[in-house]
Amino acid sequence: ALDNGFTNWDDAKYLTQNKRVQVLTFESVSDLFTRTKIGYHHYVPLTLLSFSIEHHIFGFDPRVFILNNILLHCINVLLVLWFVSLLCKRFDIAFVTAVLFALHPMHVESVAWIVERKDVLYTLFYLGSMISYIYGIKREQNRNSFYAISLLLFLCSLFSKPAAVTLPMVLLLVDFYFHGNFYDLDWKKIFSSLGNKIPFFMLSGLFVFVALGQQKVGLFDIYSRMERVMIGSYGFIYYVVKLFLPLGLSCFYPVPAKVNNSLPILFSIAPAALSVVLCALVFMFRKKGEVLFGLLFYFVTIALVTFIGASTALISDRYTYVPSVGVFLIVSYFVCNLVSKELIKNIAVRFSAKFLIFCFFVMLAIMTFDRCKVWKKGITLWSDVISKYDDVPTAYVNRGNEYGMNKEYDLALADYNKALELEPRNLVALTSRGYLFYLMGKYNRAIDDLTRAVSVYPQYVPAYLNRSLSYERIGEYRAAIDDLIKARTIEPDVSLERINDLMNKIK
Residue 250's closest CA among 443, 412, 392, 122? 392
Whether residues 278 and 413 share a domain: the answer is no
pLDDT digits over 225-243, tens only?
A: 888 888 889 988 999 999 9
* Range of weakest confidence among 37-46, 333-342, 450-459: 37-46
Which amino acid, 189? Answer: K
Whether residues 260 and 198 share a domain: the answer is yes
CA gap 139, 152 in Å, rounded = 18
pLDDT at 213 over 60: yes
Whether residues 64 and 181 share a domain: the answer is yes
Domain enclosing residue 317, as ranges? 11-374
Number of neighbours of residue 423 by Cβ within 10 angstroms: 17
Whether residues 420 and 348 share a domain: the answer is no
Burial of 25 from C-beta contacts in 10 A (0-12 / 13-18 / 19+): exposed
Whether residues 201 and 291 share a domain: the answer is yes
pLDDT computed for residue 220 by the predictor:
45
CA atoms within 13 A on the CB side of 339: 19
Band (400; pLDDT cuts 50, 70, 90): very high
Which amino acid, 198? Answer: I
Band (210; pLDDT cuts 50, 70, 90): confident
Whether residues 101 and 144 share a domain: the answer is yes
Which amino acid, 71? Answer: L
CA gap 251, 384 in Å, rounded = 8
The answer to whether residue 1 sits within a structural domain is no
Band (219; pLDDT cuts 50, 70, 90): very low
If one compares 228 and 426, the residue with the highest pLDDT of the two is 426
pLDDT at 345 over 80: no
pLDDT computed for residue 221 by the predictor:
56
Band (306; pLDDT cuts 50, 70, 90): confident
If one compares 13 and 345, the residue with the highest pLDDT of the two is 13
Instruction: Show which of 374, 400, 421 is a domain's final residue.
Output: 374
Instruction: Show which of 374, 404, 434 is a domain's final residue.
Output: 374
Whether residues 417 and 326 share a domain: the answer is no
- DSSP state at residue 258: P
Under 8 Å CB-to-CB from 222, ≥6 apart: which residues? 312
The answer to whether residue 3 sits within a structural domain is no
Q: What residue spans of 443-506 are helical by DSSP H?
A: 443-456, 461-473, 477-490, 497-506
Instruction: Show which of 374, 409, 424 is a domain's final residue.
Output: 374
